[in-house]
Amino acid sequence: MDYEERIEKAVALFNSGFNCSQSVVAAFADMYGFTEEQALRMSASFGAGMGRMRETCGAVCGMFLLAGLECGQTDPKDAASKSFNYKVVQELAAKFKEQNGSIRCADLLGQLKEKKTTHVPEARTAEYYAKRPCPRMVECAARIWVEKLKELRGE
């Protein structure tokens, strides 16, 4: 699967009912030896701004999870790897914020900000998709990740 197909897969996953984080992570999971089910489970809690708390956008969290899989630190004494991973995460966040104005779910949703947070997700209806920027955020995050991945891998 080429990179453009992965971006399309991320959007398709979101449009099929998965959350924003799941959609971004699952589109790239096989590159890191994960099954789609494993990717969906490990990223499930990060949707809707982390557990529907409307904090850091789930699509952004998905990029961060992928950054950890690509260049995360595995030795507790390896400060250089830890620092490099944090640098990559900050670059991803800055690029997303530059393109969308924020990395915070509530800000990205704008007028949809809820006064009271609930754990119950809204039904995925045509109206739901029409009023939300989420498919666009998923595509943006997947595209930014592809750009960073090519850079990291020298492609």
* pTM of the predicted structure, to 2 decimals: 0.91
Q: Is the pLDDT of residue 117 over 80?
A: no
pLDDT band at 116 (very low <50, low <70, confident <90, very high): low
Q: Is the pLDDT of residue 131 over 80?
A: no
Q: How many residues does the chain have?
A: 155
Confidence of residue 123 (pLDDT cuts 50, 70, 90): confident
- pLDDT for position 112: 60
Looking at residue 122, its pLDDT comes to 74
Amino acid at 36: E
Residue from 67, 43, 46, 56 nearest 145 by CA: 67
Sign of the CA dihedral running 151, 77, 75, 46: negative
C-alpha distance from residue 10 to each of 15, 64, 75, 108, 115 (Å): 9, 15, 31, 18, 29
Give dist(CA 45, CA 19) in Å, integer.
9
At 145-155, the pLDDT tens digits run: 999 999 999 99
Q: Which residues of 89-108 are buried (b: 16+ CB within 10 A; e: fewer)?
A: beebbebbeeebeebbbbeb
Q: Are 10 and 138 in contact (CB under 8 A)?
A: yes
Res 111: pLDDT: 60
Question: Which sequence spans correspond to the domains of the chain?
Answer: 3-152
- Alpha-carbon distance of 135 to 153, in angstroms, equals 27
Q: What is the pLDDT of residues 56-103, one digit of tens each?
A: 999 999 999 999 999 999 999 999 999 999 999 999 999 999 999 999
pLDDT of residue 110: 86
* pLDDT number for residue 44: 97
- How far apart, in whole angstroms, are the C-alpha atoms of residue 43 and residue 25? 7
Asked which of 6-10, 76-80, 87-91, 116-120 is least confident by mean pLDDT, the reply is 116-120
